[in-house]
């Protein structure tokens, strides 16, 4: 493990705070008050639970840097308590718990590639592209002349996720969906 100081902080960096947990730095700010010692105010995300906490460190305080290995994995299928993934190089299969996968599971189709984050051999998270293209499997048909601006209707995607789409979208259309918010962006192709 590499020991780092608060002066080495960068957004996105992972740090191991021992019994407190494994955290990713979302934001940090060095503060030098008029009197007293300098300190660093941070916003951290627990990589195991997803909880976001604010924490203050003394300037120059040392801690362990956590090295997160990112590997592309192929999503095979969903099992009752998790997602079965396969390493594209070694063909080794693993189960990722639903909690660890987070909202990424709502956008995965069998055979898709996803980036899995490992801390040693432990799976601590996943990364999806900002947007994915999915097919609408079920929605009410659009009615000719019904083109009210901004009106929406529910549509079920091929992964089972339900999103709100404009009235002109029909069953079989391919749409682009934001993986961070789960919202419709545009019709694809």
Report the predicted TM-score, pTM, of the whole model to 2 decimal places.
Answer: 0.73
- Do 50 and 75 lie in one domain? The reply is no
- Do 61 and 87 lie in one domain? The reply is no
Identify the domain containing residue 121 by its residue range. Answer: 69-127
Question: What's the average model confidence in pLDDT over 42-57?
Answer: 89
The residue to which tokens 């993934």 are assigned = 85
- Do 95 and 144 lie in one domain? The reply is no
Q: Considering 45, 66, 87, which residue would you say is the last residue of a domain? A: 66
Alpha-carbon gap, residue 96 to 90, rounded angstroms: 17
Q: Are 30 and 17 in contact (CB under 8 A)?
A: no
Answer yes or no: is pLDDT of 189 > 80.
no
- Do 15 and 39 lie in one domain? The reply is yes
Average pLDDT for the chain: 87
Q: How many domains does the chain have?
A: 3
Q: Are 162 and 156 in contact (CB under 8 A)?
A: yes
Chain segment 111-169, per-residue pLDDT in tens:
889 998 888 888 888 888 888 899 999 888 866 665 666 788 889 999 888 999 888 88
CATH of the domain at 50: 2.30.30.30
- Do 17 and 39 lie in one domain? The reply is yes
- Do 6 and 60 lie in one domain? The reply is yes
Report pLDDT for 43: 94
Q: Quickly state the pLDDT bin for 15 (edges 50, 70, 90).
A: very high
Alpha-carbon gap, residue 22 to 14, rounded angstroms: 7
CATH of the domain at 104: 2.40.50.140
Q: CA 12 → CA 8, 15, 47, 129, distances in Å? A: 12, 10, 11, 16
Contacts of 159 (CB under 8 A, 6+ apart): 106, 107, 108, 109, 134
């Amino acid at each position: 493990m590499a020991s780092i100081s608060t002066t080495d902080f960068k957004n996105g960096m992972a740090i191991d705070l021992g019994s407190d947990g494994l955290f990713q730095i979302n934001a940090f700010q060095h503060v030098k008050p008029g009197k007293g010692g300098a300190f660093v105010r941070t916003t951290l995300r627990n990589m195991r639970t997803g909880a976001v906490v604010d924490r203050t460190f003394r300037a120059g305080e040392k801690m362990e840097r956590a090295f997160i290995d990112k590997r592309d994995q192929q999503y095979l299928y969903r099992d009752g308590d998790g997602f079965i993934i396969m390493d594209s190089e070694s063909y080794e299969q693993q189960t990722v718990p639903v909690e660890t996968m987070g909202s990424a599971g709502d956008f995965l189709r069998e055979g898709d590639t996803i980036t899995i984050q490992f801390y040693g051999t432990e799976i601590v998270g996943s990364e999806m592209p900002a947007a994915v293209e999915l097919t609408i499997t079920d929605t009410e048909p659009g009615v000719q002349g019904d083109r009210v601006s901004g009106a929406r209707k529910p549509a079920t995607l091929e992964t089972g996720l339900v999103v709100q789409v404009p009235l002109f979208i029909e069953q079989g259309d391919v749409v682009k969906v934001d993986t961070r918010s789960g919202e419709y962006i545009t019709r694809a192709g």
